[in-house]
Amino acid sequence: MGLATLALIFTSACHAGGGVSTAATADSASIRRDIAWLADDAREGRATGSAGFDSAARYVAARFEALGLKPVVPVDSTCRSACALGYQMPYPARPLASRHDAAPPPALRAQNVVAVLRGSDAALANEYVIVGAHLDHLGRSSDFALDPEAKDAIRNGADDNASGVAAVLELARLFARHPARRSIVFTAFSGEELGLLGSAWWADHSPVPLASTRAMVNFDMVGRMHDDRLIVYGVATATELPGIVDSANVAPRLVVSAVGDGFGPSDHSSFYAKNLPVLHLFSDLHPDYHRATDDADKINAAGEARIVAFAERTIRAIADRGAPLTFVRAPAPAPRAGSSREGSSTYLGSIPDMAAGTVPGLRLSGVRAGSPADKGGLKSGDVIVELAGTTVKDLYTYTDALYAHKPGETIAIVVLRDGARVTVRVTLGERGR
């Protein structure tokens, strides 16, 4: 489908009447269409640097243009059609895992997609709120996949993270109808699955002044909401955010789990490391995470529309308030961007139970035969609560704790087994060996 055709698919509706309503009416049908297009087999899983990703980037750029959003990155005359609209931010993507190689491969030619909606208040329009989600997924690679037995099957990433990009596009539509007082920068990042590469580049080469940026709101896996549950990370990164998040949760209320931490294995970390308040919205894990079964037919579009409406109220409160948010720096040191991928060659062989996302710790649905986990005595049903002295609360904290260690290290892992705490010692292996 060409850019001209795409530009006509979803145009901003006229807003009639003397007053303007700020109530968000998110369109679940539009969300579903975006996810279905981005997660179609034709995109081959949108791996960073692939033709499928470039096709998806053109789609997002055309949607931004159709909504009247403007480029914030000058057109690069050396770019091919992917940069023709000027919405792309090209950069060299060097996967973190490859930096350990004796002869690292050449950098991938990657790009983020960036557009700005100018604020309505002349006094605040030169201040910004960033709204973003990563567009890339695993493609046909089994690296980081939880179904390596599927080999080069297409992993479409409908929830991870076509759902997040669809949320950004729907928010762009809502704000285009009624701009906020501050300007909003809408972004689709690349390279997240390779180590937060696109957002780290964005934050280091910001197209808008970071000194005038007031917050970053990130969406990663918001398409599989169940039981009205939503996790919101980063509420402790500004003094005012707990109240803003609570006030945005109007009837029919979501069951919001507010988590203070501003770091985590998604793109908001790159901006929190730059001393910006952040929020990260996440509808929790599921059995299809990082598997070839993460397809569009499993998306809860009506649930995502509720998340988008909640997010619109939250973002508007941040963008319309007179004073900037009061940033709060957590006492923990900032990890390097992509730290959860930095030691990606480290191998344990555990199989997380993705249906147990609300269980404190990380429940295992099994362990791979002959793996370090198997040899060390880990079993199906174990709940990992501590790894090498680090508390494990969920998949994110487990991943960060595991990848802080190198192959060959022997570590203690504490699990809950039949109600008792059990400690096993495991010698970590190396992926692919």
What are the mean pLDDT values of the chain's consecutive 10-residue runs (433 residues total)? 36 34 78 98 97 97 96 56 66 71 77 96 98 97 88 97 98 98 98 92 92 98 96 96 97 94 88 95 93 97 98 98 93 42 69 67 84 92 94 85 91 94 94 61
275 lies in the same domain as 402: no
CATH number at residue 385: 2.30.42.10
**Of 258, 287, 320, which residue sits at a domain end?**
320
315 lies in the same domain as 238: yes
**Of 278, 303, 320, which residue sits at a domain end?**
320
User: 327 - beta bridge partners?
Assistant: 238
295 lies in the same domain as 375: no
| Overall domain count for the chain | 2
Q: How far apart are CA 427 and CA 88, in angstroms?
A: 44
Helical ranges in 286-431 per DSSP H: 301-320, 339-342, 372-376, 395-402
Indicate whether 83 belongs to any domain.
yes
Residues 234, 236, 237, 241: is their CA dihedral positive or negative?
positive
Predicted pLDDT of residue 83: 43
Indicate whether 97 belongs to any domain.
yes
138 lies in the same domain as 229: yes
Indicate whether 117 belongs to any domain.
yes
Indicate whether 330 belongs to any domain.
no
Indicate whether 335 belongs to any domain.
no
292 lies in the same domain as 414: no
Are 86 and 160 in contact by the 8 Å Cβ rule? The answer is no
Indicate whether 340 belongs to any domain.
no
Q: Measure CA of the first residue to CA of the last residue in the chain; give whole Å.
A: 43
Indicate whether 329 belongs to any domain.
no
Predicted pLDDT of residue 129: 98
292 lies in the same domain as 397: no
User: Which of 399, 407, 403 has the alpha carbon at shortest distance from 428?
Assistant: 407
CATH number at residue 85: 3.40.630.10
Indicate whether 244 belongs to any domain.
yes
Are 37 and 63 in contact by the 8 Å Cβ rule? The answer is no
Structure-token pair, residue 235: 């509420």
R_g (Cα) of the chain, nearest Å: 21
**Of 305, 320, 335, which residue sits at a domain end?**
320
- What residue numbers bound the domain in which 349 lies? 345-430
- Spell 202-230 as b/e; 16+ CB within 10 A means b: bbeebbbeeeebbbbbbbbbbbbbeeeeb
14 conformational bin, left if phi > 0, alpha if psi -120 to 50, beta if neither: beta
30 lies in the same domain as 125: yes
Distance, CA of 316 to chain centre = 20
Predicted pLDDT of residue 433: 56
What is the value of pTM for the model shown? 0.80
Predicted pLDDT of residue 278: 97
151 lies in the same domain as 188: yes
Q: How far is CA 133 from CA 113, 166, 189, in A?
A: 10, 9, 6
Predicted pLDDT of residue 353: 73
157 lies in the same domain as 219: yes
288 lies in the same domain as 358: no
297 lies in the same domain as 356: no
Predicted pLDDT of residue 175: 98
353 lies in the same domain as 311: no
Name the phi and psi angles at 323, rounded to 5.
Answer: -100, 150
